[in-house]
Amino acid sequence: MTQYWCEQAWLGGLEGGAADGVLITVDGDTIGSVEQGVASPPERATRLDGVTLPGFANAHSHAFHRALRGRTHGGGGTFWTWRDQMYRLAGSLDPDSYEELATATFAEMVLAGYTVVGEFHYLHHAPGGAPYADPNEMGHRMLRAAERAGIRITLLNTCYLHGGIGQPLNEVQRRFSDGTAEAWLARIASLAHGPTSRMGAAIHSVRAVDPFSMTVVEWSAGAVGAVLHAHVSEQPRENEACLEAYGGTPVEVLARRGVLDDRFTAVHATHVTSSDIRLLADSGSSCCVCPTTERELADGIGPMAALRDAGVALCIGSDSHAVIDPFEETRAVELDERLASLRRGTHNPADLLTAATSNGYASLGWEGGSIAPGMLADFVTVGFDSPRLAGADRDDVAAAVVFGATTADVRHVVVGGEHIVRDGAHRSIDVVRSLDSSVRRAWAAVMG
């Protein structure tokens, strides 16, 4: 049994205030008890100065995209020209280089305050599409990378069958595809949950998965109660092609195939219609928004307030990892809304923290994201001893943290009761050196 004494802790709810002197007792990997008003830390309890929050959930990640940061931002273009650059990188990775890059990327997430990640995993096979000797070699490498980094993972094993609606796969996309949904299902059948891992499913998009195959993926996820994610309406061109081919929007096509339910998360939903929003809300689906990627790729600003007002639970993801910072991702939900609406204060700071924590955990199939008995012992401590938070209102920590903090303010990260980040340093990984070496190795392969 382990105890952590928190100078302050945000325990959730609509209000932004935090409780003083909170003692968290950990039993195994879960929280056994939470006691408020404890004036000083008991003997042998670990002291956490600052404000302790539930761990952040990164509900949408492509780990290998981290190597694109700082290398694909100039020169103009569109999402589609950026995708060509991403494909060059995807075509060059092997299991060893991908595991090295993913380990460093996941470790960066933990330093930033993320305690669980949903890895939207579609880089399955060797170049040209031939399976590895272990057909799930790349998936196993993702699980190992997360374990080494000290972060929980939901491996969202992605079905990817077509190069676009009615289009063949290109050379790089063959690495992503099992050929049929039935072959995808047969491949992933041997994967199983672990203590810090969960298996989920994903439909890459309406571009890459035909309606019949969507049904196979949905059935397989539903049979085992797994969560199911899909890229939805990230680009107007995607909507136009879907309407022309299927006579409906991506959300409408997914609804017709029975995909929408309370296990489903629509990723992006940047260009959904009002009727799409009603379908998502009525089915109990959630939505993962990725504001830093959506702005980096010029995707647009999604109708986040309309989704929330309809009852669609929002969560966040860092997607392409142009930025790995849950505070920036969280406040961008509100700040981007201000740009679109010319109005301030649409999203309550406490609601934003809930989206970034417990909503994200639920989207990924975990009982966590809140500091309460029975929840996973995953939490993050932010210091108030930095230029960013100096003088901040300690009576409204939700607003102070959401609008003032950055990853540089993360002092401690606990996952499953284990102290992974202590005083801003990872317990076992030199994150800067690991990122530098893994990114350079990945691009050396691209350049031949």
Hey, what are 395's tokens?
């009576």
320 shares its domain with 418: no
Where among 363, 386, 414 does a domain terminate?
Answer: 363
pLDDT score of 70? 85
How does pLDDT run across 388-412, given as a tens digit for each residue?
999 998 989 999 999 999 999 999 9
Average pLDDT, integer, range 138-154:
98
185 shares its domain with 167: yes
The one-character DSSP state at 125 is S
269 shares its domain with 410: no
- The reply to whether 294 falls in a domain is yes
Confidence of residue 448 (pLDDT cuts 50, 70, 90): confident
Number of domains the chain contains: 2
- The reply to whether 440 falls in a domain is no
- The reply to whether 431 falls in a domain is no
Taking the C-alpha atoms of residue 29 and residue 446, their distance in angstroms, rounded to an integer, is 41
| Residues of the domain holding 22 | 2-54+375-426
21 shares its domain with 131: no
271 shares its domain with 166: yes
CA neighbor of 306 nearest in space, from 330, 270, 331: 270
Q: Are 381 and 18 in contact (CB under 8 A)?
A: no
- The reply to whether 146 falls in a domain is yes
Neighbour order of strands in the sheet with 264-268: 56-61, 114-121, 152-159, 197-203, 228-232, 264-268, 286-289, 313-316
Taking the C-alpha atoms of residue 127 and residue 354, their distance in angstroms, rounded to an integer, is 41
pLDDT score of 117? 99
H or E segment and range at residue 382: strand 379-382
How does pLDDT run across 17-33, given as a tens digit for each residue?
899 999 999 999 999 99
348 shares its domain with 309: yes
Taking the C-alpha atoms of residue 426 and residue 397, their distance in angstroms, rounded to an integer, is 25
219 shares its domain with 283: yes
CB atoms within 10 A of CB 299: 21
How does pLDDT run across 273-317, given as a tens digit for each residue?
999 999 999 999 999 999 999 999 999 999 999 999 999 999 999
Confidence of residue 434 (pLDDT cuts 50, 70, 90): very high
How does pLDDT run across 34-56, given as a tens digit for each residue?
999 999 999 999 999 999 999 99
Positive or negative CA dihedral for 308, 313, 318, 323?
positive
- The reply to whether 415 falls in a domain is yes
Taking the C-alpha atoms of residue 294 and residue 216, their distance in angstroms, rounded to an integer, is 29
CATH number at residue 14: 2.30.40.10
Percent of the chain with pLDDT over 70: 99
CATH number at residue 307: 3.20.20.140
Confidence of residue 78 (pLDDT cuts 50, 70, 90): confident
334 shares its domain with 403: no
Helix crossing, 95-112 with 137-149: angle to 10°? Answer: 30
- The reply to whether 327 falls in a domain is yes
270 shares its domain with 397: no
238 shares its domain with 338: yes
User: In terms of C-beta density within 10 A (0-12 exposed, 13-18 middle, 19 or more buried), how is residue 306 classed?
Assistant: middle
- The reply to whether 432 falls in a domain is no
Q: Is 161 helix (H, G, I), strand (E, B) or coil?
A: coil
pLDDT score of 72? 75
- The reply to whether 437 falls in a domain is no
Positions annotated as catalytic residues are: 268, 319
pLDDT score of 71? 78
Total H helices, total E strands in the chain: 15, 16
177 shares its domain with 265: yes
H or E segment and range at residue 34: strand 30-35
Q: Are 279 and 311 in contact (CB under 8 A)?
A: no
CB atoms within 10 A of CB 190: 10
Q: Are 404 and 392 in contact (CB under 8 A)?
A: yes
334 shares its domain with 422: no
Confidence of residue 80 (pLDDT cuts 50, 70, 90): confident
Where among 316, 343, 363 does a domain terminate?
Answer: 363
**Would the pTM of this model clear 0.85, i.e. be above it?**
yes
CA trace torsion 134, 139, 140, 143 (10° rounding): 180
